[in-house]
C-alpha cells in the first residue's frame, strides 16, 4: 500500500502543482502574491480570508484522494457534484475576493488564474482522458464489469460535457477574464469589476469541476491497475464500483451541462402572444399558455399569472406567467419563437382547416440584484389600467391593474392579478426590470459575440414548432426535427423531449468545439 501512496502523491502533485493542491504549494501561492506591504487596513484583513478559501476551495476534495483512501473517493463520488449546479469550486474564491463586500483595493493584490493554470491530468503511466477517448475501447452495457468500457463511457461523457460547455471558448474566455481581473485599475469601475469577477468565478468553477471529474476517473484507473499488479481483489472491485458510479453520474452531468448558461438557473417569465387571426388565434395562444402552466406544474415550479388579456370571444390576446424555480429559464428558453397550429377550427361553422400562430418570449429573472440595470424612477410612466370615472371615494373596485412604461426602451408591462395596486405595480416593475436586464444582456452578448451564443438573444424570430391536429396528428420541432405523434400529451405540458433535444442540438452542433 505504501508504494501506492507514494505513487499517488507523485502523480498528483505533477498534475496539480500549479493549482497548489498541497499545503506547501498553497503557502507558496500565498507568498507569491502577498504584496510587500498592505496598502490599507482592508487589505491586511482581507488577505488571509482571500487566500484561504481560494486554495481550499478545491484542495479538500483532492487532498482526500491523495491519501488513497477508497472511502474518501466513494464519498466524493456519492456527493454527486454537478457541473454548473453546485459550482462550489472556485466561486467562493471570487466572491470573497471581489464580491461587493470584498473591498476594492484587495482585489488588485491577488493574482487571478486563467485556464492555462490547469494542466492536463493523467495517470501514473501517462494515460489522459483524451487518450482513453482515442483508444476507442468498446463501450459495453453497464453491468459488464469491464473497467475499460466504463472508462471509455465516462471519457465520452466528459467529451460531450466539454462540448456543451463550449470548452475551448470557455478556456479562452477564462484567460481573457483573468487578464482583465489582474489589471490594476479594474476596480475603478466596481460594477464592471463585479461582473467580470462573477463571470470568472462561475467559469472557473465549471472548468475545475470538469478537471476534477477527469482527475477522479484517472485516479480510479490508476487504482485498478495497481490492484491488478498487487492482486488486491478487494481494491479492484471497489474501484470498479466507483467507476460504475461515475459512469452513472456522468449521464446526469451531461444533462446538467446543457444548462450551464449564466442565466439558466434563474426563474423566468413566459409570455405568450396570439398572432393575427382573431378568436382561433386567441384560442391557440390560450392553449399554448395552458401547455406551459402544466409543464411548470410537472416540474414542481411555482407558477403565477402576472398578466392576462382575454380575447373578445375566447382565449387570450396575451398573457404572462412567472415560473419560479431552479433552471426554469434554462429549460423554458428553448421555447422562444413562434408556435404554429393546424386544425379544424371549432370557431368555424364551415369546419375549415385553419393555421394560427402564437409567439412565445421568455425572460430570465436575475437572482443577483447587483446585476440589475439601474432604472430611474423618472424614466417610468405608471398608469392605472382600465380606469374610468372620478375614482377615489366614488369608486369601489377590486381592479387595480397597473401598466408601467419604461420610456427610454418602450418596454411595457401590465399586471392585474394581484389584489392591491401596490402589488400590481411591484409585479409589473419586476417584469420591466427583467426585460430591461435582458435587453442589456443582449447588448453585452453582441459585444462579446465570440463567446456568447445566440441562446440569450431572444427574438420573436421564425417558427420553431408545428402542431398539427388535423388531418393527421403530429407535433414537430422545426429546429431539431424532433417529433411526437401525440399532440395531446404535448399540449398537456410534456415538453421535455422537445426542450432537451433542442438544447443538445444547439450545444452539440459545433463538431470540434473542444
DSSP secondary structure code for residue 367 in this structure: S
Q: Residue 13 or 421: which CB sits closer to another protein?
A: 421
Phi and psi dihedrals of 259, rounded to 5? -115, 50
The closest alpha carbon to 224, from 201, 249, 248, 244, belongs to: 244
Residue 418 binds another protein, judged by CB under 8 A:
yes
Residue pair 374/396 in contact by the 8 Å Cβ criterion: no
Distance CA 481, CA 467 (A): 13
> β-strand 483-484 against 302-310: which pairing, if any?
unpaired
Residue from 120, 142, 399, 486 in contact with another protein (CB under 8 A): 399
Q: Residue 18 or 382: which CB sits closer to another protein?
A: 382
Residue 310 binds another protein, judged by CB under 8 A:
yes
Residue 496 binds another protein, judged by CB under 8 A:
no
Residue 379 binds another protein, judged by CB under 8 A:
no
Residue pair 502/342 in contact by the 8 Å Cβ criterion: no
Q: Residue 179 or 407: which CB sits closer to another protein?
A: 407
Coil, helix or strand at residue 93: helix
Residue 389 binds another protein, judged by CB under 8 A:
yes
Residue 420 binds another protein, judged by CB under 8 A:
yes
CB atoms within 10 A of CB 116: 11
Q: Which helix (H) or strand (E) holds 217?
A: helix 190-229
**Residues of this chain, 116-145, that bind another protein according to CB under 8 A:** none
* Least distance between another protein and beta carbon 392 (Å): 5
DSSP secondary structure code for residue 115 in this structure: G
Residue 297 binds another protein, judged by CB under 8 A:
no
Residue 384 binds another protein, judged by CB under 8 A:
yes
Residue pair 322/267 in contact by the 8 Å Cβ criterion: yes
Residue the block writes with cell 421555447: 335
Residue 304 binds another protein, judged by CB under 8 A:
no
Interaction mask 422-461, another protein, x per CB under 8 A: xx--------------------------------------
Distance CA 290, CA 473 (A): 19
Residue 376 binds another protein, judged by CB under 8 A:
no
Q: Residue 395 or 449: which CB sits closer to another protein?
A: 395
Residue 402 binds another protein, judged by CB under 8 A:
yes
Residue from 378, 393, 462, 481 in contact with another protein (CB under 8 A): 393
Q: Residue 367 or 391: which CB sits closer to another protein?
A: 391
Distances (CA, A) of 434 to 299, 367, 397, 438, 482: 22, 10, 29, 6, 31
Q: Which residues contact 512 (CB under 8 A, 6 or more apart)?
A: none
* Least distance between another protein and beta carbon 19 (Å): 48
Residue from 387, 444, 446, 459 in contact with another protein (CB under 8 A): 387
The closest alpha carbon to 13, from 115, 121, 155, belongs to: 121
Size of the site for another protein (CB under 8 A): 26
* Least distance between another protein and beta carbon 425 (Å): 8
Sites of contact with another protein (CB under 8 A): 310, 382-384, 387-400, 402, 417-423
Amino acid at each position: 500500500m505504501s508504494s501506492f501512496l507514494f505513487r499517488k502523491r507523485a502523480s498528483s502533485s505533477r498534475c496539480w502543482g500549479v493549482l497548489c493542491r498541497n499545503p506547501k504549494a498553497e503557502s507558496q501561492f500565498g507568498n507569491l502574491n502577498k504584496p510587500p506591504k498592505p496598502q490599507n487596513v482592508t487589505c491586511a484583513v482581507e488577505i488571509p480570508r482571500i487566500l484561504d478559501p481560494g486554495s481550499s476551495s478545491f484542495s479538500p476534495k483532492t487532498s482526500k484522494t491523495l491519501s488513497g483512501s477508497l472511502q474518501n473517493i466513494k464519498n466524493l463520488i456519492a456527493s454527486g457534484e454537478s457541473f454548473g449546479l453546485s459550482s462550489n469550486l472556485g466561486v467562493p474564491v471570487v466572491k470573497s475576493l471581489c464580491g461587493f463586500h470584498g473591498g476594492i483595493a484587495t482585489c488588485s493584490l491577488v493574482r487571478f488564474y486563467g485556464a492555462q493554470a490547469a494542466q492536463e491530468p493523467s495517470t501514473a503511466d501517462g494515460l489522459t482522458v483524451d487518450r482513453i477517448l482515442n483508444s476507442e475501447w468498446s463501450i459495453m452495457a453497464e453491468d459488464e464489469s469491464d473497467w475499460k468500457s466504463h472508462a471509455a463511457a465516462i471519457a465520452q461523457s466528459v467529451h460531450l460535457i466539454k462540448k456543451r460547455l463550449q470548452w475551448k471558448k470557455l478556456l479562452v474566455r477564462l484567460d481573457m477574464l483573468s487578464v482583465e481581473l489582474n489589471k490594476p485599475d479594474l476596480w475603478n469601475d466596481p460594477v464592471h469589476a463585479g461582473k467580470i469577477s462573477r463571470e470568472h468565478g462561475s467559469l472557473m468553477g465549471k472548468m475545475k469541476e470538469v478537471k476534477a471529474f477527469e482527475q477522479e476517473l484517472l485516479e480510479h484507473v490508476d487504482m485498478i491497475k495497481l490492484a491488478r499488479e498487487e492482486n488486491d481483489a478487494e481494491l479492484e472491485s471497489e474501484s470498479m464500483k466507483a467507476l460504475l458510479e461515475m459512469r452513472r453520474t456522468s449521464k446526469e452531468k451531461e444533462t446538467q451541462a446543457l444548462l450551464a448558461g449564466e442565466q439558466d438557473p434563474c426563474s423566468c417569465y413566459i409570455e405568450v402572444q396570439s398572432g393575427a387571426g382573431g378568436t382561433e388565434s386567441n384560442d391557440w395562444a390560450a392553449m399554448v399558455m395552458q401547455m406551459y402552466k402544466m409543464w411548470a406544474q410537472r416540474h414542481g415550479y411555482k407558477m403565477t399569472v402576472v398578466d392576462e388579456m382575454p380575447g373578445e370571444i375566447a382565449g387570450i390576446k396575451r398573457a404572462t406567467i412567472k415560473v419560479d424555480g431552479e433552471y426554469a429559464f434554462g429549460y423554458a428558453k428553448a421555447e422562444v419563437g413562434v408556435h404554429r397550429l393546424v386544425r379544424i377550427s371549432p370557431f368555424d361553422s364551415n369546419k375549415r382547416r385553419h393555421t394560427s400562430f402564437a409567439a412565445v418570449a421568455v425572460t430570465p429573472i436575475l437572482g443577483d440584484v447587483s446585476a440589475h440595470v439601474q432604472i430611474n424612477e423618472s424614466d417610468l410612466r405608471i398608469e392605472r389600467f382600465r380606469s374610468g370615472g372620478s375614482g377615489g371615494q366614488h369608486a369601489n373596485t377590486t381592479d387595480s391593474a397597473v401598466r408601467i412604461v419604461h420610456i427610454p426602451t418602450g418596454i411595457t408591462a401590465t399586471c392585474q392579478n394581484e389584489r392591491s395596486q401596490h402589488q400590481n405595480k411591484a409585479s409589473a416593475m419586476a417584469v420591466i426590470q427583467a426585460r430591461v436586464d435582458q435587453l442589456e444582456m443582449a447588448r453585452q452578448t453582441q459585444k462579446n459575440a465570440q463567446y456568447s451564443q445566440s441562446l440569450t438573444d431572444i427574438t420573436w424570430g421564425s417558427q420553431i414548432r408545428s402542431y398539427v391536429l388535423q388531418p393527421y396528428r403530429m407535433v414537430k420541432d422545426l429546429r431539431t426535427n424532433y417529433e411526437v405523434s401525440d399532440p395531446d400529451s404535448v399540449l398537456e405540458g410534456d415538453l421535455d423531449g422537445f426542450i432537451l433535444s433542442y438544447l443538445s442540438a444547439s450545444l452539440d452542433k459545433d463538431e470540434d468545439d473542444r
